[in-house]
Amino acid sequence: MSEFTLHIGNKAYSSWSLRGWLACKLAGIDFREEVHDMGAPDWSTFVRSISPSARVPVLRHGEITVWESLAIGDYLADLFPKAGLWPEDRAARAEARAISAEMHAGFTALRSSMWMNTRRRFPGRGRNPGSLADIARIVAIWEEARRRFGAGGPYLFGSRITLADAMYAPVVARFVTWEPDLPAGAKAYVAAVWEHPAVVEWRKAAEAEPWLITKYETPGP
Ligand SMILES: N[C@@H](CCC(=O)N[C@@H](CS)C(=O)NCC(=O)O)C(=O)O
């Protein structure tokens, strides 16, 4: 039996779960995943029983409980330094951590107007001044990371996918669903992350999920 258990929400909708799950995948650990329906009638009671913050993802490792997607990534980076979850170069690592923290703390307009639903396409919807400003900042972040550190491959820091890419993977999923206008470089980055084998595995599992949460199925204006 695996020593790690990751509790996550619906793969179709739970963007923070995708971040924590990708961190486990990138660390290369054998982990048991427990996927829970966030639309279940007893969800709010249930999530309190598994998570100190009443949110997913949550990683359990023996007696240790780690919540918050970024903390899960850092915990695994500490445990498995050879996995290269953060870039090796110090300047690249600093930038990777900064943009991951920025993602973790912000972009609320994008998150509320263009939520993650890996199974649906809502092209052209969800555009408003707040979401468009968030998208402009994200595109600038991606361009800067790729210009400074990404020359060797398709990801933000080159050929190796890192926790920074994991933090932005749900944004990639949102861009596939909502199809905002993007420059060519951002489009290429979206395609690379969307086709990463772990992301493909996640979205195939999302397709097979039996649950539906109605509020995520209908786009706003
Ligand atoms: N900052 C947290 C956010 C976690 C979060 O908001 N998770 C959502 C799922 S995507 C959740 O658990 N929602 C359940 C609820 O609000 O009841 C992280 O990085 O893990």
Q: Is 166 in the pocket of ligand 1 (CB under 6 A)?
A: no
Per-residue pLDDT, 190? 98
Distance of alpha carbon 14 from alpha carbon 201, whole angstroms: 15
Mean local confidence (pLDDT), 81-88? 97
CATH code at position 181: 1.20.1050.10
Q: Is residue 212 part of a domain?
A: no
pLDDT tens digits for range 151-195:
999 999 999 999 999 999 999 999 999 999 999 999 999 999 999
Residue 22 pLDDT: 98
Residue of minimum CA distance from atom 15 in ligand 1: 55
What is the separation of C-alpha 195 from the centre of its chain, rounded to a whole number of angstroms? Answer: 14
Q: Is the dihedral of CA 105, 108, 110, 116 positive or negative?
A: positive
Tell me: do 199 and 98 sit in the same domain. Answer: yes
Are 79 and 121 in the same domain?
no
Q: Which structural domain range is residue 156 located in?
A: 90-204
Distance 149 CA to ligand 1 centre (A): 30
126 domain-assigned: yes
- Separation of alpha carbons 186 and 191, rounded Å: 9
Tokens of 173: 């999923």
Let me know whether 107 and 38 are in one domain.
Answer: no
In tens, the pLDDT along 42-73 reads: 999 999 999 999 999 999 999 999 999 999 99
Question: Does the Cβ of 55 fall within 6 Å of ligand 1?
Answer: yes
Ligand 1 contact via 38 beta carbon (within 6 Å): yes
pLDDT digits (tens, 9 = 90+) for 113-131: 999 999 999 999 999 999 9
Helix (H, G, I), strand (E, B) or coil at 89: coil
* Ligand 1 atom, smallest distance to 16 CA: 10
Residue 128 lies in a domain: yes
Q: Which residue's structure tokens are 């706003």? A: 220
Q: Is residue 11 part of a domain?
A: yes
If asked whether residues 67 and 173 sit together in one domain, one would say no
Share of the chain above pLDDT 90, in %: 98
Phi, psi of 132 (to 5 degrees): -70, -35
pTM: 0.98
CATH classification of the domain holding 79:
3.40.30.10
Same domain, 111 and 184: yes
Ligand 1 centre distance from Cα of residue 155 (Å): 25
Same domain, 114 and 179: yes
**In this structure, what are the phi and psi dihedrals at residue 78, rounded to the nearest 5 degrees?**
-65, -45
Q: Please give the Cα distance from 190 to 175 (Å, whole number).
A: 8
Based on the fold, state whether residues 198 and 94 are members of the same structural domain: yes
Res 1: pLDDT: 79
Residue 221 has pLDDT above 90, yes or no: no
Output the CA–CA distances (angstroms, integers) from residue 132 to 49, 120, 138, 179, 180, in the order listed: 37, 20, 10, 12, 8
Q: In the predicted model, what is the mean pLDDT of residues 83-101?
A: 98
Q: Which atom of ligand 1 is nearest to the CA of 15?
A: 10
Helix, strand or coil, per DSSP, at residue 216: helix
